[in-house]
Amino acid sequence: MSASCGVTPSLRTELFTSSSKRTNFPAQTYKPRNKCEMSRRDFAVKGGIVASGVSVMGTPSQSVQGGSERLAYKPEGYNFWEWKGHKIHYVVQGEGLPIVLIHGFGASVFHWRYNIPELAKKYKVYALDLLGFGWSDKALIEYDAMVWTDQVIDFMKEVVKEPAVVVGNSLGGFTALTVAVGLPEQVTGVALLNSAGQFASESRKREEVDETVITKFIVKPVKEIFQRVVLGFLFWQAKQPSRIESVLKSVYKNTANVDDYLIESISKPATDPNAGEVYYRLMTRFLMNQSRYTLDSVLSQMTCPLLLLWGDLDPWVGPAKAEKIKAFYSNSSLVHLQAGHCPHDEVPEAVNIALLDWLSNVDSKPSSPKVI
């Protein structure tokens, strides 16, 4: 789990608050209900480590994972881009068609440690830390999902500057979809790895559950001061190496890659200034928000090719969701993987092979916006 993987926000990370200044995603309906859901409360207790972000300590590039190279660790970071007064950390390697990698909730560029070196042999690979995570600033702002969509769109315009394929895991997957809708002239394809996001019918059901369980019995009765005490304890607990290891092993079916590199990459950023406050804001203001953006509303506006790389052993987001997405969006391909929530780090060779094969068939020219 990037931190992303180790702790995707209970499919609540998948729910977003709309903004009148941003792309409008009209709600669509879809009957099947995803059974692989995790309540916000479960996420708060089990997945709290996500908000810590990820920085990662590692060793110089070396041969690991059956011969795969691993992204070298640099104490000073790689590159920094200023966005709206905030420092954003990113990595860029290779030459060719650009690929932009977006980590999941709580992770960083280092969660793509086994993918960047391999993909960079044929493509120009970018990976960035979302605001509030990894080595990017822990900004004290009002977070909603579209903050990250806006961030990636501006990154594409100002740094990448040419048509690119966008790849995302968990929360990063839903962000990749919204970026494709918001910037169709520059996104030539999208690849999702166990993406966050819900269909409209699932979202409505989730809201009903949250109202009766979370809002009624936890949020409303608890004053902010007590919320801070409770979440402060959860944040302290979540950043402990033993806790991080436990959560990671719950979502990595093959735990060989749950190593010191990965654990350090999650625990170190939690010591950044404002990390605790960012965690509090995400848990009380972002994760508790109602959703107006759904997978069907976004997919109905997207036009580019879509690849689904799905870890079928994911305890949170099972293969049923991938099948629904494929059925809904005809211009898609689905690859099943024997892995958990973060297949790109658990079975990187299989992911790299499937992604490279699909990329070889993706037209580098941007797709035309859909006419409705």
Instruction: Return d(Cα 13, Cα 282) in angstroms, integer.
Output: 9
Measured at the CA of 8, the angle between CA 79 and CA 5, to 5 degrees, comes to 60
Tokens for 140? 């004290």
Neighbouring-strand partners of residue 156: none
The confidence score (pLDDT) of residue 192 equals: 98
Mean pLDDT across 314-339: 96
Instruction: Return d(Cα 304, Cα 184) in angstroms, integer.
Output: 8
Highest averaged pLDDT of the listed ranges 11-20, 185-194, 265-274? 185-194
Mean pLDDT across 202-220: 51
Mean pLDDT across 10-19: 34
Enter the pTM of the model. 0.75
Q: What is the pLDDT of residues 125-163, one digit of tens each?
A: 999 999 999 999 999 898 887 899 999 999 999 999 999
Kind and range of the H or E element at 208? Answer: helix 200-210
Q: Is the pLDDT of residue 301 over 90?
A: yes
Q: Domains in the chain and their CATH numbers?
A: 79-364 (3.40.50.1820)
Tokens for 139? 């900004």
Instruction: Return d(Cα 301, Cα 316) in angstroms, integer.
Output: 26
